[in-house]
Amino acid sequence: MTRIPGESLLAAGPSDDGLSGGPTIGVLALQGDVLEHLRLLRAAGARAVAVKRTGELDRLDGLVIPGGESTTIGKLAAMYGLLDPLRQRLREGMPAFGTCAGAILLARRALHADGRPAEQPLLGAMDIVVRRNAFGRQIASFEADLDVQGLTGEPLHAVFIRAPWIEEHGPSVNVLAKVGTPLGDKVVVARQGNLLASAFHPELTDDGRLHALFVDLVREAATV
């Protein structure tokens, strides 16, 4: 069996939480807040597993791609031979939820903050163009309360860390939330069929509503 350097450092515990009825959702464990995503997915009733090998993709009903650095995640995915298998599963309709850098990975095109094209490996599953680091540098990271379409109750408290925004989207993409900026309202949550993208880090709060929305979407996709 091929070993990945440092794989034991990611002690995600048993491969699932023992739930029998829930869908199996992978969290791409190349970089980022893997454990936090696992925790919120499990709280929403999914079997959640950390994945980093191609062979582990087959049994997934859905996938979360965490935040981090999209260039790093893309390079690691290429190194581990994951890019094409991931693209294939996404083409076949596997639901996915990309958060921050994960949303960038899902996009068909990425731009740098100044609008130049960012040449980096992408999965190209969603008809969105994202602008990386769009709100400014690390120091311009912020938190905001968002009204997210499809979530009931109070606004969602969202943590943005060197976040992208969704600059353009195709007709099959639904905008679920925007945030106001001096340059106008910018799209920060979007859905295209079974694909969900958030520009912020929903795993960094205890509010699991976006994860629950994704788990519901995976459940529905698994029963059709």
Binding site for ligand GLN (CB under 6 A): 67-70, 100-101, 104, 132-133, 161-162, 164
Q: Establish whether 220 is a catalytic residue.
A: no
3-class state of residue 58 by DSSP: coil
- For the bound state, the minimum distance from the C-beta of residue 103 to ligand GLN, rounded and expressed in Å, comes to 8
Check if the beta carbon of residue 59 is closer than 8 Å to that of residue 24.
Answer: yes
Q: Establish whether 201 is a catalytic residue.
A: yes
Residue 47: beta bridge partners? 24
- Which C-beta is closer to ligand GLN: that of 35 or that of 221? 35
Q: Is 20 exposed, middle or buried (0-12, 13-18, 19+ CB in 10 A)?
A: exposed
Q: Establish whether 169 is a catalytic residue.
A: no
Which among 37, 169, 203, 211 is annotated as catalytic?
203
What is the DSSP code (8-state) at residue 173? P
- For the bound state, the minimum distance from the C-beta of residue 144 to ligand GLN, rounded and expressed in Å, comes to 15
- For the bound state, the minimum distance from the C-beta of residue 65 to ligand GLN, rounded and expressed in Å, comes to 10
- For the bound state, the minimum distance from the C-beta of residue 117 to ligand GLN, rounded and expressed in Å, comes to 14
Which among 100, 167, 169, 211 is annotated as catalytic?
100
Check if the beta carbon of residue 41 is closer than 8 Å to that of residue 22.
Answer: no
Residue with tokens 């699991």: 208
Tell me the one-letter amino acid at 107.
A
Which run of H or of E encompasses 101? helix 101-106
d(CA 190, CA 149): 10
Cα dihedral: 165, 170, 174, 176 (round 10):
10
d(CA 131, CA 76): 21
d(CA 101, CA 163): 8
- For the bound state, the minimum distance from the C-beta of residue 172 to ligand GLN, rounded and expressed in Å, comes to 24
Q: Just list the catalytic residues.
A: 100, 201, 203
